[in-house]
Amino acid sequence: MGRLEGKKAVVTGAAQGLGAAIVERLAEEGCDVVAWDLNRAGVEQTARQIGERTGRKVYGRVLDVTDAAAARSAMDEAADVLGGLDIAVCNAGVLFAGDSIGFDIAQWRKVIEVNLVGYFITAREAARVMLKFGGGSIIQINSKSGKKGSYKNTPYCASKFGGIGVTQSLAYEFAEKNIRVNAVCPGNLLDSPLWVDSLYKQYSQRLGLTEAEVRQRYIDQVPMKRGCTYRDVTNLVVFLASDESGYMTGQAINITGGQEMR
Ligand SMILES: NC(=O)c1ccc[n+]([C@@H]2O[C@H](COP(=O)([O-])OP(=O)(O)OC[C@H]3O[C@@H](n4cnc5c(N)ncnc54)[C@H](O)[C@@H]3O)[C@@H](O)[C@H]2O)c1
């Protein structure tokens, strides 16, 4: 028996990276899942593979989290297909970093639109549907950058700080309705596509280091001397999704190997 046997879950930004790892872990723990992403081919393939491997019902569908009308109908459809809704993981996010003086404002706004407005849109839709089913657990994938400034990373930081405000406010609003809302604040997932496909290259150019040196530099910032793994994060997601965390709401929990102490 999994720790979330028979629960119904939705996950945003789930074609790859941490979102795909969350879908996989929820399915392993006994959930049926609707996985959403902008990337249709990617999310359909991820869902199919996880469904085959775990034997759970896993559906891959397109959803742009910034589209309020689409999110409304997608959440209703997901609850229909799954037969309810217990868990919503708001994971979709983008990161564009750069120096503030030259930062393109359209790109700055895009980060806020996806990470902050998109989070609010999907979380409120999840709450609306959970009200019909007697409650549930909403989990935002935030970041250590949601609590501490981050070098040349103003829009991402602003979006994640704002996300904690949304988490606390929704938690307050729905506390008496048995809907809990919490955030997870991971450290750097140094093996994720975000780093491997993009950030090592960006930071090596900016810092004048090789990509291996960039990786070591980020490991050295962590008291436990390693990057965050998907398993570290999904352990916390499962806990927050389960009744074991039943008295916790409005929290933003660090999972950083102690990095926020520095
Ligand atoms: N990778 C890290 O080191 C790290 C650390 C801390 C927190 N996080 C957070 O974890 C989450 C996932 O990050 P990741 O590293 O897996 O990123 P990723 O870029 O690998 O995956 C993000 C996914 O979100 C999707 N997406 C982007 N915009 C979307 C939109 N408007 N609607 C729906 N889907 C959309 C993308 O298509 C992609 O599949 C993000 O919220 C990120 O801020 C990541």
In CATH, what number is assigned to the domain containing residue 235? 3.40.50.720
Which of 6, 44, 40 has the alpha carbon at shortest distance from 26? 6
| Best residue for ligand 1 mutational test, from 192, 203, 230, 236 (most atoms within 8 Å of Cβ) | 192
Residue 157 · residue 97 · CB < 8 Å: no
Sheet-wide strand order for 32-37: 58-62, 32-37, 8-11, 87-90, 136-141, 179-186, 252-255
How many A from CA of 22 to the centre of ligand 1?
A: 12
| Residues forming beta bridges with residue 8, ordered by sequence position | 32
Ligand 1 geometric centre to CA of 47 (Å) = 16
Task: Give the residue numbers spanning the domain of 223.
Answer: 188-227
| Cα–Cα distance, 162 to 113 (Å, whole number) | 11
CA distance 114 to 168: 19
Check pocket membership of 13 for ligand 1, CB cut-off 6 A: yes
Q: Are residues 98 and 180 in the same domain?
A: yes
Of 119, 156, 218, 230, which one is the catalytic site residue? 156
Is residue 25 assigned to a domain?
yes
User: What length is written for the chain?
Assistant: 262
| Dist. CA 10–CA 36, nearest whole Å | 8
Whether 157 is covered by a domain: the verdict is yes
Contact 35, 60 (CB under 8 A): yes
Same domain, 237 and 219: no
Question: Are both 194 and 242 inside the same structural domain?
Answer: no
Q: Is 200 exposed, middle or buried (0-12, 13-18, 19+ CB in 10 A)?
A: buried
Using the CB atoms, write b or e for 95-111: b if 16+ within 10 Å. bbbbeeeeeeeeebebb
Residue 94 alpha carbon to ligand 1 centre in Å:
5
CB–CB of 121/66 below 8 Å? yes
| Residue 55 sits in the same domain as residue 179 | yes
Specify the amino acid at residue 254: N
Substitution site in 10, 18, 197 for ligand 1 pocket (most atoms within 8 Å of beta carbon): 18
Evaluate: CB of 17 within 6 angstroms of ligand 1: yes
What is the end-to-end Cα distance of the chain in Å, rounded? 40
pLDDT per residue of the chain (262 residues) written in tens, 0 to 9: 899 999 999 999 999 999 999 999 999 999 999 999 999 999 999 999 999 999 999 999 999 999 999 999 999 999 999 999 999 999 999 999 889 999 999 999 999 999 999 999 999 999 999 999 999 999 999 999 999 999 899 999 999 999 999 999 999 999 999 999 999 999 999 999 999 999 999 889 888 999 999 999 999 999 999 999 999 999 999 999 999 999 999 999 999 999 988 7
Task: Give start and end residues of each alpha helix (H) in the chain.
Answer: 17-28, 40-54, 68-82, 105-112, 118-132, 154-174, 193, 200-207, 211-220, 230-241
Q: Are residues 12 and 97 in the same domain?
A: yes
Please say if 156 is a catalytic residue: yes
Query: What is the pTM for the complete model shown?
Result: 0.98
Q: 48: which 2 tokens?
A: 């199919």
153 lines ligand 1 (CB under 6 A): no
Residue 245 lies in a domain: yes
CA-227 nearest atom, ligand 1: 3
Residue to mutate, 11, 12, 91, ligand 1, most ligand atoms under 8 Å from C-beta: 91
Q: Do 178 and 118 share a domain, yes or no?
A: yes
